[in-house]
Structure 1
Amino acid sequence: MPPEAKPIEKENLHPRNPHRERYNFKQLCKSSPALRAFVSLNQYGDESIDFTNPEAVKALNNALLKHFYGVEGWNIPAGYLCPPIPGRADYIHYIADLLAENNNGVIPTGSQVKILDIGTGANCVYPLIGSSVYVWQFVGSEVDLIALASAKNIVALNKQLKDKIEIRRQTSKASIFNGIIKPGELFDVSICNPPFHSSALEAKSATDTKWKKLGINPKQNNALNFGGQKTELWYPGGEAAFITRMIDESALTPDSCKWFTTLVSKKETLPLVHKALKKVKALDVKTINMAQGQKVSRVLCWTFLG
């Protein structure tokens, strides 16, 4: 029996997000012919891909980045995080709105705007989107050497990004801003998608739940839903501990960023991090709500500058 109605997709994305509509696979395959091998008709009679297939998801990301952002040759090493592009684009657009608040309502564009991406990952997605849409300058930090090499390779494959994106190695696993921000350097915004699980066991449990929702026995599939390494998925104490550490370290370099920001996945994290922000005497704190379908997230923003 056919389903009664098609599911609504991406209705809560940012108004400027180009991914609010259903994927146009004909257009995407024209931009990236390699995607065609993964496209078939789903239960609703629409063209789609098998989202449980990591190679299919990677091919879709490649096509989206090429079609909407002009990115060539995007790839990531096996086992590394393959992020959903629509949600990543949302963060960038909300950051643009944040910057517009102190610019007479006008989004500042161009190379004079400097963004710091903490833990840019092997995928380098935030700098790719932000530099394409708003022509911002990005510095991406990364502690994982394989992810670092991957991000640098993506930038090298795209000559138009050479002067827009710089990838810096974080040599200390105990540091976030220290060792990355140079003396006297000022960023307009720092962004971060922190690891939100507290342990490898918690990360695996969340992944098993995702597989079950997709109708797949997790015991038959040991891969994480969209990949991911330890530094991408979990941190002792979870996202609350990581963000608290970020807040404490930001207070040691308060003049380096006009706004510090991070994604917050769990609602229960907010009281803890707001308490940490009060302790370090942040001058202004904002929480921006984001949503992609049923998934709700938030952007926590704070500043020490008047």
Structure 2
Amino acid sequence: MTTMTKSAKLHPRNPHQGRYDLTALSKGYPPLLVHLTVTPGGEQTINFSNPDSVQALNAALLQHYYQINHWQLPPGYLCPPIPGRADYIHYAADLLAGPAGVPTGKQISMLDIGCGANLIYPIIASRSYGWRCVGTDIDPLALTAAQLIIDSNSTLKGQISLRRQPDSNSILRGIIQPGDVFALTVCNPPFYSSATEAAAANQRKRANLKLPDSPQQRNFAGQQHELWCPGGELAFIKQLISESVEFASQVGWFSSLVSQQSHLKALQAAARQAGAAEIKPINMQQGQKSSHLLAWRF
């Protein structure tokens, strides 16, 4: 069992500051109540080694902060930590800011590459800024689950649409159509290069959180295509950069999450070689975890 707090280093517009108020979250989402427990020190928490508890916490957060009343994932699908995902959206929004601040409303469109079943980025972007969002994925079941979330929440209808990527060897090709214009693309790439690497990383994470040893269990779950691909995130983002050249006139800013700081130098070099006019690496800090956002435009 472990407790989890959020760092004051989150983006200033990120609403997920400080400790989770589990009492308030449970009032808005009563199913969270059965997952509450108490630490030896007397603090209220949940069991973060239990994927069902993590999913219940996420559902409660989405209800409390984004008025999402129905959010459910198929078993075993990625259940991401919402505060960190919100950080990405708010830092990415800064890329679009002008003298009047961050633009809002449906005239701003965002493309989420690999939205998964959870639909986190489009939910946060549409509810925080009113943007129109398109989510894409190669997995039909993930898109079916994501569509159910849209259909079950009136706040999302007309704000989010979905597209299936028919070619597992392509990222933007087959998705961005003639006439499409996106202010921003976001992406949470597969981080690992193999199932073995993903399993080893999961074990390190569980050890850092002092969770029971369990090679099969991930507290945030994840399907194979969500977690790893040949070459890992470095190869995936390099391909994204390569394909982005073809759609330079249709997209304002391309971006991707980068989990390994050691990959940034090579990725920035790839963006320069592709002809990007501006490249921005942005450091994001969530508690003890550090991640990076790489953005580029032509």
Same fold (TM over 0.5): yes
In structure 2, distance between residues paired with 1:185 and 1:194 = 22
Shift, 1:179, TM fit:
1.0
**What is residue 284 of structure 1 aligned with on the other side?**
278
In structure 2, distance between residues paired with 1:301 and 1:82 = 24
Equivalent position amino acid for 2:189 in 1: P
Shift, 1:223, TM fit:
1.4
Equivalent position amino acid for 1:65 in 2: L
In structure 1, distance between residues paired with 2:216 and 2:94 = 40
**What is residue 142 of structure 2 aligned with on the other side?**
147
- Give me the TM-score of the superposition, normalised by structure 1: 0.94
Per-residue displacement from partner, 1:2-43 (whole Å, max 9, x unpaired)? xxxx98642211111111121111110110011011112123
**What is residue 181 of structure 1 aligned with on the other side?**
176
For the residue of structure 2 that corresponds to 1:268, the secondary structure is: helix
Equivalent position amino acid for 2:270 in 1: A
For the residue of structure 2 that corresponds to 1:45, the secondary structure is: coil
2:238 is aligned with 1:241: no
Equivalent position amino acid for 1:274 in 2: Q
**What is residue 13 of structure 2 aligned with on the other side?**
16
Check 1:10–1:44 CA distance in 2 against 1; reply closer, same or farther (3 A cut).
farther
1:197-236 alignment runs, 5 A limit: 197-219=192-214, 222-236=216-230
2:24 is aligned with 1:30: no
2:245 is aligned with 1:256: no
Equivalent position amino acid for 1:205 in 2: A
- Contact 1:210-1:225 at 8 Å conserved across structures: no
1:53-92 alignment runs, 5 A limit: 53-92=50-89
In structure 2, distance between residues paired with 1:196 and 1:77 = 21
- Contact 2:171-2:243 at 8 Å conserved across structures: yes
2:139 is aligned with 1:137: no
Equivalent position amino acid for 1:260 in 2: F
Shift, 1:283, TM fit:
0.6
Shift, 1:44, TM fit:
2.9
Shift, 1:214, TM fit:
3.4
- Gapped regions of structure 1 (runs ≥ 5): 1-5
2:297 is aligned with 1:298: no
- Give me the TM-score of the superposition, normalised by structure 2: 0.96
Shift, 1:96, TM fit:
1.4
2:167 is aligned with 1:172: yes
Misfit runs of 4+, over 6 Å: none
- Contact 2:5-2:19 at 8 Å conserved across structures: no
In structure 2, distance between residues paired with 1:33 and 1:170 = 36
**What is residue 43 of structure 1 aligned with on the other side?**
40
Check 1:239–1:216 CA distance in 2 against 1; reply closer, same or farther (3 A cut).
same
- Gapped regions of structure 2 (runs ≥ 5): none
For the residue of structure 2 that corresponds to 1:252, the secondary structure is: helix
Per-residue displacement from partner, 1:206-263 (whole Å, max 9, x unpaired)? 11112223334434x5212310011110111111100000000001221121000001
- Contact 2:5-2:20 at 8 Å conserved across structures: no
- Contact 1:207-1:225 at 8 Å conserved across structures: no
CA RMSD of superposed structures (Å): 1.4
Equivalent position amino acid for 1:123 in 2: N
In structure 2, distance between residues paired with 1:92 and 1:60 = 20
Shift, 1:105, TM fit:
4.9
In structure 1, distance between residues paired with 2:136 and 2:6 = 32
Equivalent position amino acid for 1:173 in 2: S
Equivalent position amino acid for 2:279 in 1: V
For the residue of structure 2 that corresponds to 1:23, the secondary structure is: coil
Shifted more, 226-235 versus 7-16: the winner is 7-16
For the residue of structure 1 that corresponds to 2:290, the secondary structure is: strand
